[in-house]
Structure 1
Amino acid sequence: MEEANQATVTWRKSTRSNGSGNCVEVADGLPGVVGLRDSKDPAGPALAFQPSSWAAFIRAVKDETLSR
């Protein structure tokens, strides 16, 4: 994700975040991507995923079907 885009994005943590500092933040609403970054390093790098890939990951987490 380009730095200019990342600076203007609104990031959110999960409502299930417990404040331990081991969180990721997600940016929705970017054209064609879902942004992901480490909440402990907001100025650090961000990952960008296709919305369909992110949705598949979230489904797998909810369904507990991720393999090790």
Structure 2
Amino acid sequence: MNSEVRYTGSWRKSARSGSGAQCVELRCTSEAAREVRDSKAPQAGALSFDGAAWRKFLSTIQQG
């Protein structure tokens, strides 16, 4: 995760999503906490992560 990300509470779409159907949005809910959701189905809810869980989530994704 980029250390330049600041808490805004606003959803932002992943730059890697492009114009394809696999779109992800991220929201910083506090200094360390994050939420992730499907931009095409925001009503479906979001996954919430505290700081430790977010770091583990990213580590797991990066390992494939």
Using the size of structure 1 for normalisation, the TM-score is: 0.61
Runs of 4+ displaced beyond 3 Å: none
3-state SS of paired residue (1:10): coil
1:10 match: 10
Query: Percent identity between the aligned chains?
Result: 36
Larger radius of gyration: 1
3-state SS of paired residue (1:43): helix
- The number of equivalent residue pairs is 56
Gaps (5+ residues) in structure 1?
A: 1-7
Q: Aligned equivalents of 2:35 and 2:15: distance in 1?
A: 17
Gaps (5+ residues) in structure 2?
A: 1-7
Are residue 56 (structure 1) and residue 62 (structure 2) matched?
no
2:45 match: 45
Q: Aligned equivalents of 2:39 and 2:21: distance in 1?
A: 7
Taking only aligned residues, the RMSD between alpha carbons, in angstroms, comes to: 2.2
Q: Which structure shows the bigger proportion of residues in strand conformation?
A: 1
CA contact (8 A) 1:21 1:39 kept: no
